[in-house]
Amino acid sequence: MAALGAMSSASAETLNALFMAQAAYSDSDVKAMTAAFEKDNPGVTVNLEFVPYEALYDKIVASKAAGGAGYDVVLYDVIWPAAFAQNNVLVDVTDRLKGLDRSQIFDGAWATVDYDGKTYGMPWILDTKYLFYNTEMLKKAGIAAPPKTWEELAKDAKIIKDKGIVQYPIVWSWSQAEAVICDYVTIAAAYGGKFFDDGKPAFDKGGSLDALKYMVQTLKDGVSNPNSKEYLEEDVRKVFSAGDAAFALNWTYMYGKANDPAESKVVGKVGVEPAPGVEGKTAASAVNGSMALGITAGSSKVDLAWKYIAYLTSKPVQDKYAQLSLPIWKASYTDPAVTKGQEPLVQSADVAIGLMTPRPMVASYQELSTILQTQIQNALAGKATPEDALAAAAKDAARIR
């Protein structure tokens, strides 16, 4: 009887996996990859659950607090490993990676899974924000080349606005959410700003302050879409794809979607560049928005979970689905089968991936981010000056318990 039980569990096993229902790979991509994995591993079923990005962290934390027997495989963001490592949420897979030459994968991708000398999963989505532009609108405005600096971007946007080509040339994801932090960090990196200095908050001075001033100024000048204050990345994509913006800052996935006739009115007019820099300081800027797959500490099927993760993150699978999310593997970027049709994106990625600025790797990141989101929004709403807003954020951040 016991033998029989063991046999049946070996031939019919179930994995529970948690994914995200926006950006990067689409739901149907993940379903297709998983179906192929199940075909290769008869008897294995993978239950997929898709939640919006905003609910991903809550789900992982709640399942850990409830005993952790819920998910085996979870998708997680580059900002969470510190909190996860300190609370024993994920399985340490350092030993499983011993046979792999780490230099085949970009450093920015590894930053997603490494914490304190240990590795907690495999990077899966290598992502940063790019500057997308509408080539037709730039041409109409007589702008020969896309802007290389943030100042130039604001100037070009003003020209486009004054010529009446579009009412609000730039669109951003500045809603009270993690999205606004990603835009802010991108601009702050260009201005040479720092988050912390000697362990103390430093986002209220220097380049970090200049970044928020820039954001507020573009709103005052009417070149930024004021609705940006309630937008997430998907809203930005829709506005850009509807032809209602000349410039947009967004993740990799927008390139494919903005060129998809079923979703977009600007097919063939989508330009992409690395996010701009600041004269005399930086040539371009980028934020690390990568994501990874990990095994929860409560999983009883660690080996099978790892097999699934290894499959999803393998080069052939990533190459096959490179339309919405570029692979983590360096070798993929010279493979014509991967780059075909998205050469401009891959060219920009060449620059941007090397520059990716991380958000602070601290266990209390969620709280720090919430404080910053609130104060950045206060400044964007005109309730406080950028100086006062960031000073208040620094004061609150120093108080985090």
Partner 1 sequence: MSGRIGMPSPWLLLGPMLVVVLAAVGYPVVTTIWLAFTDTRLMAGPGSAHWIGLENFAYVFTDADFLAAAGRTVYFTLVSVSAEALLGIAVALLLNQEFHGRTFCRALLVLPWALPTIVNALMWRLVYQPDFGVLNAVLSQTGLIGSYRSWLGVESSAMNAVILADVWKNYPLVALIVLAALQSAPAELYGAATLDGANAWHRFRVVTWPIIAPPLLVALVLRSIEALKVFDIFYVMTHGGPASATKTMSFFVYEESFRFMRVGSGASYALIVVLICMVFVGVYVRLLKRQEAS
The answer to whether 230 contacts partner 1 (rule: CB under 8 A) is: yes
Q: What is the dihedral of CA 100, 22, 338, 255, to 10 degrees?
A: -140
Size of the site for partner 1 (CB under 8 A): 36
Query: By CB under 8 A, what part of segment 75-134 binds partner 1?
Result: 83, 87-89
Q: What is the DSSP letter of 172?
A: -
- What residue has token string 């850009």? 240
The answer to whether 227 contacts partner 1 (rule: CB under 8 A) is: yes
Nearest-approach distance from CB 374 to partner 1, in angstroms = 5
Nearest-approach distance from CB 239 to partner 1, in angstroms = 6
Token pair for residue 39? 């075909």
Measuring CA to CA, how many Å separate 180 from each of 145, 184, 401?
27, 6, 24
CB 379 within 8 A of CB 386: yes
Interface with partner 1 (CB under 8 A), residue from 38, 263, 367, 388: 367
**What is the rounded distance in angstroms from the CA atom of residue 26 to the CA atom of residue 135?**
26
- Between 208 and 228, whose beta carbon lies closer to partner 1? 228
Q: What is the DSSP letter of 355?
A: G
Measuring CA to CA, how many Å separate 163 from each of 147, 255, 319, 391?
17, 26, 42, 38
The answer to whether 69 contacts partner 1 (rule: CB under 8 A) is: no
Interface with partner 1 (CB under 8 A), residue from 364, 385, 387, 388: 364
The answer to whether 54 contacts partner 1 (rule: CB under 8 A) is: yes
Nearest-approach distance from CB 192 to partner 1, in angstroms = 27
The amino acid at 111:
A
Nearest-approach distance from CB 373 to partner 1, in angstroms = 8
Interface with partner 1 (CB under 8 A), residue from 35, 100, 145, 242: 242
CB 205 within 8 A of CB 305: no
The answer to whether 401 contacts partner 1 (rule: CB under 8 A) is: yes
- Between 77 and 244, whose beta carbon lies closer to partner 1? 244
The answer to whether 385 contacts partner 1 (rule: CB under 8 A) is: no
Token pair for residue 24? 């990067």
The answer to whether 220 contacts partner 1 (rule: CB under 8 A) is: no
**What is the rounded distance in angstroms from the CA atom of residue 101 to the CA atom of residue 97?**
8
The answer to whether 64 contacts partner 1 (rule: CB under 8 A) is: yes
Residues whose CB is less than 8 angstroms from the CB of residue 341 and which lie 6 or more positions away in sequence, other chains included: 323
**Residues near partner 1, by CB under 8 A:** 54, 57-58, 61-62, 64-65, 83, 87-89, 175-177, 226-231, 238-239, 242, 244, 364, 366-367, 370, 373-374, 377-378, 380-381, 383, 401
